[in-house]
Each structure stands twice: as structure tokens, then as C-alpha cells.
């Protein structure tokens, strides 16, 4: 294991459940594509000895050049977001569900909390998909939904930077509601009468 400060960072939170580890293959793939350090983050109420951590997190093997195991005590969502910010992460890779997996819900509480508060691209892996990404996987495209808000527009620099580094194209999906009035917030785009889709070379990632 080796840590290099000038390398980009990929963060994956794991909670010791088999459901959470389904995202590990995709996280490793992203780290390999970007030449990044993979930070495996475990938010816990009690620190676990480092020599037991891989087994505790149900990690069989790690196929990346550089990775770091990190434990933190605190609120799960806040701790993950603060850590990702501290290492200037390019993206967070996370399973849609963790230890409290309920297939009836699109996202679990942790994934939902991250999606609602994150300021960088996130890759969410569903446990039920047929072909889970492994360390050698390469995505073909990124899907970027835009709703016309200035917050979404401000994230596009990060999106284009990530797409360029990965060598993938982007599909931009403009989400709008027929008849909805324009938001009074400065910088908001006027919504068209129907969703418009355009393609551009440059997040969901697929």
C-alpha cells in the first residue's frame, strides 16, 4: 500500500455488509482508469484494529496500485462527505444500499444522504444488477441530468474534467416540467415545454 499526494482520489464507503461491497469492483476500476488512490472509508462507533479491517469489511482482494484504509467516528453521511472533501476526491463510489438493505427502496439512507449533499460526481452501484463491474471494467458514457438550476450548472466543470480523464463521452439529459414557471433564483435557465436531450463529448456512468 502506498499513498501519493499528487494522485487523484476515489472514495468508497463500506459498512461491513456484503451489500456495500458490491461497489468495490467499480471503485477499483475508477482508480485504475484514473491512476488514483482508492480510499476505503469505514465510519464506525469503535475503531477496529487495522490488521482485522479488511476481513471486517468483507474485502477479499484489492486490485489497485495504491489504496488507503481509513476509519472515522461520527455521523455517517457527514463523515464521508468531509473525508471526500479533505482528499479532494474526484468521485465517490457507493452501493445504493448497505447493511439495512431493502430492495423496495431505490436508495438506502446513506446513499440518499450523500446524493442530496454532495458537490462532486457520485457513482451508485445497485446490488441487483446482473453484471457487476470488476476492477477491469471501463464505462462507455456518463449520464448527466440537468434541471436548469445554477447549482447543477456549477458542477459541470467537475463533470467534464472527470469525463476527459476517463476518456468517455457525456449524455446530457435536460429535465423539465411542462408549464412550470422559471425559478426566481439568479442564473436559472428557463424550462422548455418538454425534456430536451443533446449529446456532447467531453454523472451517472454506464
Cβ atoms 18, 33 nearer than 8 A: no
- HSE-up of residue 164 (Cα within 13 Å, Cβ side): 7
**For 33-42, 71-80, 162-171, 175-184, which range has the lowest pLDDT when averaged over its residues?**
175-184
Give 67-94 pLDDT, tens digit per residue.
999 999 999 999 999 999 999 999 999 9
- Residue 46's pLDDT is 87
- Residue 183's pLDDT is 64
- Residue 42 pairs in a beta bridge with 71
- DSSP type of residue 129: -
pLDDT confidence tier of residue 15, bands split at 50, 70 and 90: very high
- Residue 144's pLDDT is 83
Give 148-171 pLDDT, tens digit per residue.
777 777 778 888 888 888 889 999
Closest CA to 133 of 58, 41, 31: 31
- DSSP type of residue 190: P
Closest CA to 123 of 170, 149, 91, 153: 91
pLDDT confidence tier of residue 172, bands split at 50, 70 and 90: confident
Report the mean per-residue pLDDT for the chain: 83
Flag whether pLDDT at 190 surpasses 70.
no
- HSE-up of residue 181 (Cα within 13 Å, Cβ side): 3
The percentage of residues in the chain with a pLDDT greater than 90, rounded to a whole number, is 46
Give 129-153 pLDDT, tens digit per residue.
888 999 999 888 888 887 777 777 7
Cell 460526481: give the residue.
121
Strand order across the 141-146 sheet = 196-200, 169-174, 141-146, 204-205
CATH 3.40.50.620 domain range(s) in the chain = 9-125
SS3 13: strand
The topology (CATH level 3) of 9-125 is Rossmann fold (3.40.50)
Amino acid at each position: 500500500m502506498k499513498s501519493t499526494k499528487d494522485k487523484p482520489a476515489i472514495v468508497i464507503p463500506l459498512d461491513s455488509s456484503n451489500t456495500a461491497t458490491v461497489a468495490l469492483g467499480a471503485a477499483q476500476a475508477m482508480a485504475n482508469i484514473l491512476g488514483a488512490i482508492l480510499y476505503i472509508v469505514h465510519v464506525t462507533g469503535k475503531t477496529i484494529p487495522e490488521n482485522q479491517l479488511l476481513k471486517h469489511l468483507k474485502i477479499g482482494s484489492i486490485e489497485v496500485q495504491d489504496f488507503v484504509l481509513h476509519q472515522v467516528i461520527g455521523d455517517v453521511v457527514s463523515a464521508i462527505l468531509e473525508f471526500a472533501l479533505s482528499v479532494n476526491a474526484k468521485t465517490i463510489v457507493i452501493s445504493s444500499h448497505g447493511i439495512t438493505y431493502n430492495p423496495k427502496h431505490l436508495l438506502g439512507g446513506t446513499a440518499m444522504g450523500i446524493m442530496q449533499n454532495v458537490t462532486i460526481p457520485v457513482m451508485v452501484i445497485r446490488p441487483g444488477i446482473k453484471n457487476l463491474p470488476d476492477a477491469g471494467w471501463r464505462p462507455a458514457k456518463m449520464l448527466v441530468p440537468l434541471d436548469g438550476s445554477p447549482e447543477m450548472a456549477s458542477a459541470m466543470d467537475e463533470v467534464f474534467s472527470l469525463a476527459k480523464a476517463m476518456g468517455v463521452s457525456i449524455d446530457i439529459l435536460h429535465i423539465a416540467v411542462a408549464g412550470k414557471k422559471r425559478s426566481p433564483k439568479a442564473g436559472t435557465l428557463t424550462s422548455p415545454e418538454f425534456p430536451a436531450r443533446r449529446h456532447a463529448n467531453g454523472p451517472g456512468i454506464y
